[in-house]
């Protein structure tokens, strides 16, 4: 695809437990924006791990699902559908039978475990990877991918022979009944054996933080969140997981349906999935890991773009741009606000008003681009709507904490400014909460400077006085109304930075 063109592509992930569909519309110079997602549980591994073969019923169901997903993609404008099959297809003795059945509707590529791991890392971290060395764990139905990544380089990639469906139907344990202490211990030992090499290598490499992905880990995080009485399923703690598991595995299948956060389609495989999660977290020394909703599908999306000529590709910026395009944003206003917000950030840092680095500068720039996208729905409370869209957008290249930070910056740019103890900042380290508030202030000021969306304010400069910061603006039209709005911000600025804000303005000849 040439950079000036656009296209729609369907991505199908044929997994051991489920088949997933992601349809992406690629806008110019962007990583694309999801326009449709769906999944269906097919359980290719249910018969595979008992007999070594995928049974005919599972192949027939998979064929139906893939045919429907391919047709949906084309109905949405896709002229290309990409399908990758993973662990079950790799291991089945009748793999050719499965591939032949699916290939009637779309070309299917069976990928090796290390390629699956690479694509998962690409989906979770983006093409530039995490800034600090990060361990990624993805617990699938048949395999578990383990990756150590830093700054776009995958230092370790492995696909382990363990998974929620594999252990549910391949270890001789009836997971629809209560799981005994002995059977659960056997599952843990199986994880130990299958992960020996990976654990040794990861310990050698070390890591600064851990991230988990996949339906199993998302479900476990949601169950732990429900157990503690909140909705924050963005992380999973080992101590909470260990406290949760006994109450789940001692139930039979039907009684698990009532466990908050656990879906019915996962009730028979959640105990072995939990065993994999618990033992790997213990072996790797992970007390808490962030949970990402991204994975293989998003990796297929980014890989598609990179394979089409984008050798230098800023996934994060392009994800933001794709979302902005889809929400029909006011591009000129957004670019003006972005320019002024980043200028304020840089000048304030030079004056010693903050010590934030490029990470928050980049997040501020992205937030500025997206700050008004909620207007697609309604101008009233558009800042709240913008936050909601951002936090539920599945933008690739961003971590969970970064998405939350951007959402809050956008939320706070309009109407009442938050105090240091605002409940919406709860759970954030104090330095990050302060950084979000400071970036929100720069965004708020920049938005006011383009109050009438006419790019009238062409120059913004900050200077430091003993007890104040002077904000000087130069405009090509009368800036009186912008100044009046800025005056209302002064008390919040003083509380945040400990300095008064003084405003001077120069307008056209004969103006203020």
pLDDT tens digit string along 443-476? Answer: 999 999 998 888 889 889 999 988 899 999 999 9
pLDDT bracket for residue 2 (50, 70, 90):
very low
**Lowest mean pLDDT, pick from 36-40, 236-240, 307-311:** 307-311
- Taking each helix axis from N to C end, the angle separating 181-194 and 270-284, rounded to the nearest 10 degrees, works out to 50
Beta bridge partners of 185: none
CA-wise closest residue to 384 among 421, 342, 416? 416
Q: Render pLDDT for 112-165 as a digit per residue (tens, 0 to 9).
A: 999 999 999 999 998 788 889 999 999 999 999 999 999 888 999 999 999 999
Model confidence at 310, pLDDT cuts 50, 70, 90, reads: low
Name the average pLDDT for the chain. Answer: 91
The pLDDT of residue 4 is above 60: no
pLDDT at 219: 96
Q: How far apart are CA 57 and CA 67, in angstroms?
A: 15
Tell me what the mean pLDDT of segment 291-301 comes to.
91
pLDDT the model gives residue 27: 74
Q: Give Cα separations from 40 to 17, 82, 122 (angstroms).
A: 9, 17, 23
DSSP assignment letter at 142: S
- Which domains are seen in the chain, by residue range? 7-111 (3.30.420.40), 114-291 (3.30.420.150), 315-506 (1.10.3210.10)
State yes or no: pLDDT of 512 exceeds 60: no
Query: For the segment 237-260, what is each residue's pLDDT rounded down to a tens digit?
Result: 999 999 999 999 999 999 999 999
Strand order through the sheet with 468-475: 457-464, 468-475, 500-506
Note whether 114 and 189 are within 8 A (CB).
Answer: no
What 3-state class would DSSP assign to 132?
Answer: coil
- Of all residues in the chain, the percent with pLDDT exceeding 90 is 78
Condensed to tens digits (0 to 9), the pLDDT of residues 417-430 reads 999 999 999 888 89
- Name the phi and psi angles at 21, rounded to 5: -125, 135
**What are 431's two structure tokens?**
């330095």
Given a cut of 50, whether residue 1 has pLDDT beyond it is no
Backbone angles phi, psi at 71, to 5 degrees: -70, -40
Extract long-range pairs of 494-497: CB within 8 Å, 24+ residues apart.
495/419, 496/437, 496/438, 496/441, 497/353, 497/438, 497/441, 497/469
Mean pLDDT within 306-316: 66
Q: Distances from the Cα of 499 to the Cαs of 21, 353, 490, 502, in angstroms? A: 52, 9, 9, 9
| pLDDT value for 393 | 82
**Greater confidence, 364 or 508?**
364
- pLDDT score for 313: 54
- HSE toward the beta carbon, residue 108, CA cutoff 13 A: 26
Say what the pLDDT of residue 3 is: 41
CB 162 within 8 A of CB 49: no
pLDDT at residue 347 in the model = 96
């Amino acid at each position: 695809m040439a950079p000036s063109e656009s296209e729609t592509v369907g991505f199908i992930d044929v997994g051991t437990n489920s088949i997933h569909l992601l349809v992406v519309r690629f806008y110019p110079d962007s990583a694309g924006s999801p326009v449709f997602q769906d999944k269906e549980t097919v359980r290719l591994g249910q018969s595979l791990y008992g007999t070594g073969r995928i049974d005919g019923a599972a192949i027939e169901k998979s064929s139906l699902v893939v045919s429907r997903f391919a047709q949906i993609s084309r109905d949405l404008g896709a002229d290309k559908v990409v399908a990758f099959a993973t662990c079950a297809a790799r291991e089945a003795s009748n793999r050719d039978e499965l591939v032949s059945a699916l290939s009637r509707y779309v070309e299917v590529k069976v990928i090796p475990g290390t390629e699956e791991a690479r694509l998962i890392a690409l989906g979770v971290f983006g093409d530039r990877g995490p800034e600090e060395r990060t361990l990624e764990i993805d617990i699938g139905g048949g395999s578990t991918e383990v990756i150590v990544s830093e700054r776009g380089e995958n230092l370790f990639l492995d696909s382990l022979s363990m998974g929620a469906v594999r252990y549910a139907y391949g270890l001789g344990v009836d997971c629809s009944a209560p799981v005994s202490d002995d059977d659960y211990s056997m599952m843990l030992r199986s994880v130990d054996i299958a992960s020996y090499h990976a654990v040794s290598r990861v310990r050698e490499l070390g890591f600064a933080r851990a991230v988990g992905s996949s339906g199993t880990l998302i479900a476990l995080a949601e169950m732990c969140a429900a157990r503690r009485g909140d909705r924050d399923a963005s992380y999973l703690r080992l101590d909470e997981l260990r406290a949760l598991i006994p109450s789940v595995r001692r139930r039979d299948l039907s009684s698990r349906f009532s466990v908050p956060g656990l879906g019915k389609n996962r009730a028979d495989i959640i105990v072995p999935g939990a065993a994999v999660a618990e033992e790997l977290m213990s072996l790797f020394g992970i007390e808490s890991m962030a949970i990402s909703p991204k994975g293989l599908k998003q990796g297929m999306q980014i890989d598609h773009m990179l394979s089409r000529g984008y050798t230098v590709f800023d996934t994060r910026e392009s994800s933001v741009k794709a979302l902005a395009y889809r929400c029909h944003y006011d591009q000129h206003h957004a670019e003006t606000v972005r320019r002024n917000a980043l200028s304020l950030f840089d000048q304030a840092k030079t004056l010693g008003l903050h010590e934030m680095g490029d990470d928050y500068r980049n997040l501020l720039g992205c937030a500025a681009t997206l700050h008004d996208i909620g207007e697609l729905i309604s101008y009233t409370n558009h800042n709240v709507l913008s936050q909601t869209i951002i936090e539920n957008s599945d933008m690739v290249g961003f971590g969970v904490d970064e998405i939350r930070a951007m959402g809050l910056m956008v939320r706070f740019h309009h109407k009442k400014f938050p105090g240091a103890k605002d409940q919406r900042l709860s759970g954030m380290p104090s330095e990050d909460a302060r950084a979000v508030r400071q970036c929100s202030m720069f965004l708020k000021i920049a938005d006011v400077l383009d109050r009438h969306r006419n790019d009238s304010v062409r120059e913004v400069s900050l200077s430091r006085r003993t007890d104040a910061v002077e904000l000087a603006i130069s405009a090509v039209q009368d800036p009186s109304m912008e100044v009046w709005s800025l005056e209302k911000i002064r008390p919040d600025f003083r509380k945040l930075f400990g300095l008064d804000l003084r405003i001077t303005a120069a307008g056209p000849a004969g103006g203020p």
